[in-house]
Structures are given as structure tokens and as C-alpha cells.
Homo-oligomer: A and B are copies of this chain.
Amino acid sequence: MAKFLTNREENYAQWYNDLVIKADLAENSAVRGCMVIKPYGYAIWEKIQAQLDKMFKATGHVNAYFPLFIPKSFFSKEAKHVEGFAKECAIVTHYRLKNDENGKGIIVDPTAKLEEELIIRPTSETIIWNSYKNWIQSYRDLPILINQWANVVRWEMRTRLFLRTAEFLWQEGHTAHATREEAIEETQKMINVYADFAENFMALPVIKGYKSENERFAGAIDTYAIEALMQDGKALQAGTSHFLGQNFAKAFDVQFTDKTGKLDYVWATSWGLSTRMIGALIMAHSDNNGLVLPPRLAPIQVVIIPIYKNAGQMDSISAVAKKLKADLEAKGISVKFDDRDNNKPGWKFAEYELKGVPVRLALGPRDIENNTVEVARRDTLEKEIVQMDKILTHVLLLLEEIQNNIYKKALEFRKENTFKVDTWDEFVRILDNPGGFILAHWDGTIETEEKIKEETKATIRCIPFDSPDEDGKCIYSGKPSKRRALFARSY
């Protein structure tokens, strides 16, 4: 077991926390609920950012930046939004410190009190729509397709590294449209972008669907989500896209003249994905040896480790390794050659397993003689000997294979842990063991949804887009239902 990870089967929560710390991804800071994202964890976020940013731009979006602070009064303008967000948040009340006259160090200057308190953004709809008001007069000014990369703060009481922190990093898209149809199309387009990203880059199979009214974004008409299943049978919401209707346009009085000269309120969407995704990445694929990273998001895709007894051996290995590194890099692969001499190969093997590097190449004196390399893949831990003249093609194909295999494995796991359930007893039993996704009929009422949550801690993750029309009876109330919803306990 690498560096004393807690066993995943014994205590999943502790295994997760150990892994985040020991793989050097993040740690808690001196500020309650706020984490430090360490270089290796941040490198994964940079990969996520780069790929998503490319996908946003390919779908016509541009980036911009709006203020960190939101005047308190802005929240009150959208009735549901204030209920959802203006609660546990960080509030700036003063703008100056001073030396205490009684020598007690620095204190808040009571004379420097803000006239109106400022809230650190928990999400930016209000401050952004307050700007859009000045940007939009005519249909010619539409659509506005803006994304923002930013930090946000929600004063969570119980926090966990990456999964739930007071401050987190995310992107938030905020778009403005002339018609309802166009806004709905955008909402769908972006949940599809998220699903594409999750499946093809994070190797994370997701279920796309509608959120129930109860689980919708505060201020949205409709929320679409992608839901993923973690290895402990709990669900994780991995990204959401909201159709906001005209709610924020009405709250901030954003009207435009349409092609016929008629005044109307602007239609809106918003969509976001956060550093929480790193938590999903860890929990979906990793094992008792450490992280298992999909090659497309791994900061280091290939590590080369020399195995030598003396300087002479190291010299010839080093020459071969450097050439190999350069050749792989020329193919766009990120490679680390770990030639540090203060750690033994075995220690390094464990270290890069812990860090989830997809492919490990080991080079010893016999490899140099025989023109071979030992290739180990992180996902299955299998090893093989490959001829040096075939290594480039081999590694390129292997990285693709690992990417696909990780996805397939996660998809298999989800299939095995998704259950169609038609009785309440079975529902309760499966939730406790083995857990997982449950497709069950639901009468569509908030009351039933809340009762189920109270009694089992399971929530409606979404009503899958591809859930077929089907007559059935609500698992809880017995009332008629037309479609199954996806239930699970969740992060």
C-alpha cells in the first residue's frame, strides 16, 4: 500500500482524504473551509481548464471578468435566487484596518464601514445581469455568449477537499438571447459539452437529465445536470446548465427591441463546472495504490525511471532516456525523466503509482543491452517488455487504450450498480447495499421527494433525458407516474 493509504474498501471517505493529501493534490489551509490547491492538483485543473476553454470557444463563447463583490441589494431582486444564495456567504462590511490605540495590534476601523455590505460572489448572475442591462438595447446586441473563470465563495459548514469547500474555482457561463427557443438550445448545448468533456476527457460516464423542481438552481426555470456514480455507490453532480427564462432580465430590467420593434425581456442561461470535478476524477477511478488518471488529463503522461548500480550505467541509461523523452515530447506527450539519485527505483515506482501517472517506463542496463524498455500501465498494473524501435507507437496506442479502458471500467461499474426498482422495500435495501443508481417511479410531487429524502437520504439526481415514457406507480406514494427518475445518495 503506497504511503499508508487507508484501504478503500474499509473506509472510503478516509481513503479519499488520504489520497488527496498523499498524492499532493491539495490540503486544508489556515482559513476554515478553504483549501490550498497544490501544484500537482492545480496542474490537473489547468488541463481541465484548457480543454473546457477550447470547447467553449469552439461553441462561440468568449471570456470576460466581472467583480468579486456583489452589493447586498442585488440578491433581493430575484426572489428565488435570494432564498438560495444570500444565506451562508462571506460579507464585507468594512474597508480599513488601523492600529489599535490601546496597543492591541491592528483592528477594524469602525469609521470605515461600508454604506452597503458587499457579498463575495457565490455565483454571478446578479452582478452580470446588472451589466448586461447596459449592453443590450436591440436584438442586434444578442446573443451574448460569455464565460468567466473565477473563484466563488459559499460559506459551507461541513467541507471536504475539492468536493465542498468555502472557496472554490470554477467557470460560469452567462448567456443572453432574443428568444426562448435559442436560450433552451444553449442550455442543452452546454450540458452536452459538459457530458462530452466528462466522458471523453475525464473518462467518466454521466447521465444527462432534468433536475426536479426541488433541486433546481435558485432562479432557474429548468436545470439540466450530468450525474456520475462514484465507486462507493454515491452519486456526484458533475456540472449543471440552467435555463433561466426571463427571471434575471425582469429582476434587472433588461429589455430589448426585437426585429419587429417590440420590446421584450431577454432570455438567459447559466452553466458551471468547478474544481469539484477533481474530486469526481479521484473517486471514479483511483484504487488502493493511489490515483488513476485518464491520460488526457494527466499532468505527466509518461514517467521514465532509470535502474542502475553505478555512474557508468546511469550515463548510458540517461542518454537513451533523454532521447526517448524528446521523441515522446515531439509527439505531444508530457514526459518526466526522474533521474533523482536520492530515491530508489522501488520508491519511485510507488510514488508514480500514487500520483496516477498512466505509463511508467523503466530502463536498466539489460534493457540498454537488449534495446528494450519495461512498460507498466497504471490502470491494470500490467507490465511488458517492448522493443525500443516500437516504443513510440506502443506508448501512443497504450495511452489511448488506457483512456478507453478507464472509461469502460467506470461504465461497467455503473451498469452493475444501476437498478430498476419497483417496490419501496427493494429501494431501501439496495440503497443500503450495494448503493448505486436507482431508476424508480415517482409521483412528481415535492412532498414525496422530500419524504424519500428524509427517510433514506436519497435524492432525485435527475430525470434522465433518455428515460422512456412508461406507466408505473410511485415507489413511495403509489400514485401514477409516467417516467422513472434517477435516485441515489449523493456527494
Contacts and interface: CB of A to CB of B under 8 A. Distances in A.
Interface in A145-174: 146, 150-151, 153, 155, 167, 169
B65 A30 contact: no
A119 interface: yes
Contacts of A94: 91, 93
B106 A95 contact: no
B31 A153 contact: no
A456 interface: no
Interface string A411-443: 000000000000000000000000000000000
A151 B68 CA distance: 8
A102 interface: no
Interface of A: 27, 29-31, 34-39, 42-43, 45-46, 62-76, 82, 86-98, 105-106, 108, 117-120, 127, 130-131, 134, 140, 146, 150-151, 153, 155, 167, 169, 342
A118 B32 CA distance: 10
Nearest to A115: B32
Nearest to A134: B27
A105 B73 CA distance: 9
A71 B105 CA distance: 13
A93 B95 CA distance: 11
Nearest to A148: B42
A79 to B, nearest CB: 11
A100 to B, nearest CB: 11
Quick one: which of A31, A150, A169 has the most chain B CB within 10 A? A31
Nearest to A150: B151
Given A31-B67, A106-B76, A342-B140, A146 B91 contact: no
A257 to B, nearest CB: 14
Contacts of A153: 68
A437 to B, nearest CB: 33
Contacts of A119: 97
A67 B36 contact: yes
How many of these chains are in the complex? 2
Given A36-B64, A37-B65, 14 more contacts: A29-B66, A29-B67, A29-B127, A30-B74, A31-B70, A36-B131, A69-B90, A69-B167, A86-B106, A91-B93, A91-B94, A93-B94, A95-B155, A150-B151
Contacts of A39: 62-64, 146
A105 B86 CA distance: 11
The 7 closest A-B pairs by CB, nearest first: A34-B67, A39-B62, A37-B65, A91-B94, A95-B155, A93-B93, A31-B69
Contacts of A38: 64
A90 B118 contact: yes
A118 B92 CA distance: 9
A108 B89 contact: no
19 contacts: A29-B66, A29-B131, A31-B127, A34-B69, A42-B64, A45-B65, A69-B167, A75-B97, A76-B106, A82-B106, A86-B97, A88-B95, A89-B95, A89-B96, A91-B93, A91-B94, A91-B96, A93-B108, A97-B119
Contacts of A82: 106
A90 B88 contact: no
A74 B106 CA distance: 10
A356 B62 CA distance: 19
B36 A66 contact: yes
Contacts of A118: 31, 90
Nearest to A67: B34
A35 B62 CA distance: 18
Contacts of A45: 65
B63 A42 contact: yes
Given A64-B38, A169-B65, A92 B95 contact: no
A291 B43 CA distance: 35
A129 to B, nearest CB: 11
Given A36-B65, A64-B37, A82-B106, A90 B92 contact: yes
A67 B97 contact: no
Given A29-B131, A36-B67, A39-B63, A72 B97 contact: yes
Contacts of A42: 62-65
A71 B155 contact: no
A74 B42 CA distance: 24
A480 to B, nearest CB: 38
A90 B95 contact: yes
Contacts of A108: 72, 91, 93, 117
